[in-house]
């Protein structure tokens, strides 16, 4: 019997090992290993993209975050703007911040229009949207900021020293005590993304977004994670966009993910469609699609309870009296929309199979007395159509919803 050289015997195993190590290295940002000790703070910072004229709202938000969470942990703050911060702005925010404060001036080419955007066409569309009374329809800054927050924000030099960021939008408030360190919890559990609110984006703002997303899934199918959350952002056939978004008004993310090659490929392909300027795409749309396609669903965490409220009218308040009392909430549990038809949160829990972990019997069937704004124009009707078509598979969820008119 011929002798087999030992090197030849182990060569296939060596090749397999090299392949596994290469894969782990390529997708290393998707499965970070935690070395955080009990009681130790995470490497994290709060991030706010704002401007001098929003100071009063900025201070209100800082005070809320500090009182309800950060005064116990002292995490840092990073403030970024496309215009230099005034000295008065700096003194005011530092007086309220318990951690170190850093300031970043956003470079003009990062905040402006890309070369492939026709600015005249974009201007005409904004003027048309203003006549139609589309929310934020006429705002140029809204579009520039959302494009920046979709991708370029992660490249801020100040974020290089942190593993996690928590982006907080001005006008945001927390109306419950957050006793647990969500930064540390995310690092210990190897989470990549955390959210407090899952809202619905109206159809008329994203008419071409899913078509562009489908093009990405076809061209870069190897990047789509096997345990993805596709069914959260689309129907079962992946043919229609669900309009579900994780709000970026208060989100926690792993910096390395939003700096990754995979994320850049997704953003760059979508950005070529000019949806930020010809339609009204938001950073919430892009982040949610990226998280749902590129990450496994078990690295996404819902941070709750928070008593979260924002300028868009999203309200999340604990419905369970013991939870409301324990966290010293001052929000009204009967005036909120986190578990209503205005939210994708029930869809997320039903889809991920995590509903048993959230004591869903406490919230099932409860309809918040949330009064929607009166319909002033045709976009309100389109928003209603979005609500009606949100849950494509009616037999896949056990939660009841009511029509908007029943709450008026």
Indicate which residues carry an active-site annotation: 251
Name the β-bridge partners of 101: 77
How far is Cα 198 from Cα 251, in angstroms, rounded to an integer?
11
How far is Cα 77 from Cα 170, in angstroms, rounded to an integer?
13
How far is Cα 304 from Cα 313, in angstroms, rounded to an integer?
18
Name the β-bridge partners of 199: 245, 343
Peptide bond into 305 cis (omega under 30): yes
Q: How far apart are the first and last CA of the chain?
A: 87
Q: 289 φ, ψ to 5°? A: -65, -40
Q: In what order do the strands lie in the sheet with 250-254?
A: 101-105, 76-81, 44-49, 164-168, 250-254, 193-195, 300-302
How far is Cα 298 from Cα 228, in angstroms, rounded to an integer?
9
How far is Cα 83 from Cα 88, in angstroms, rounded to an integer?
14
Cα dihedral 91/67/333/326 (nearest 10)? 180
List, as one string, the DSSP characters of 281-335.
Answer: --HHHHHHHHHHHHS-GGGEEE-----EE-TT--B----SHHHHHHTT--S-TTS
CB atoms within 10 A of CB 152: 17
């Amino acid at each position: 019997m011929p002798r087999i050289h030992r090197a030849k015997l182990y060569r296939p195993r060596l090749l397999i090992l090299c392949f596994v190590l290469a894969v782990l290295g390529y997708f290393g940002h998707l499965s970070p290993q935690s070395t955080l000790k009990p009681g130790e703070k995470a490497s994290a910072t709060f991030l706010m993209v704002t401007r001098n004229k929003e100071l009063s709202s900025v201070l209100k938000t800082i005070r809320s975050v500090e009182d309800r969470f950060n005064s116990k942990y002292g995490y840092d703050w990073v403030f970024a703007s496309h215009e230099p911060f005034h000295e008065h702005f700096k003194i005011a925010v530092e007086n309220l911040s318990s951690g170190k404060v850093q300031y970043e001036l956003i470079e003009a080419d990062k905040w402006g229009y890309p070369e492939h955007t026709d600015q005249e066409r974009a201007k005409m569309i904004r003027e048309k949207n203003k006549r139609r009374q589309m929310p934020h329809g006429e705002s140029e800054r809204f579009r520039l900021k959302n494009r920046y927050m979709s991708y370029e924000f992660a490249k801020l030099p100040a974020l290089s020293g942190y593993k996690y960021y928590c982006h907080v939008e001005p006008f945001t408030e927390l109306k419950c005590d957050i006793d647990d360190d969500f930064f540390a919890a995310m690092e210990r559990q190897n989470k990549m993304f955390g959210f407090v609110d899952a809202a619905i984006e109206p159809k008329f703002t994203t008419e071409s977004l899913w078509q562009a997303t489908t093009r990405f899934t076809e061209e870069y199918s190897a990047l789509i994670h096997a345990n993805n959350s596709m069914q959260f952002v689309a129907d079962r056939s992946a043919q229609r966009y669900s309009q579900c978004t994780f709000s970026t008004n208060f989100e926690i993310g792993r910096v390395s993910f939003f700096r990754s090659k995979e994320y850049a490929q997704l953003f760059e392909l979508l950005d070529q469609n000019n949806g930020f300027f010809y339609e009204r795409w938001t950073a919430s749309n892009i982040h949610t699609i990226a998280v749902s396609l590129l990450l496994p669903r078990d690295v996404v965490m819902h941070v709750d309870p928070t008593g979260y409220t924002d300028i868009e009218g999203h309200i999340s308040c604990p419905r369970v009296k013991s939870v409301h009392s324990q966290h010293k909430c001052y929000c009204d549990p009967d005036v909120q929309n986190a578990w209503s038809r205005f939210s994708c949160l029930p869809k997320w829990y039903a889809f991920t199979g995590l509903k048993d972990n959230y004591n869903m019997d406490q919230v099932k069937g409860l309809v918040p007395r949330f009064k929607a704004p009166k319909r002033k124009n045709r976009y309100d009707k389109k928003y209603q159509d979005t609500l009606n078509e949100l849950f494509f598979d009616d037999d896949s969820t056990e939660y009841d919803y009511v029509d908007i008119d029943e709450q008026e």
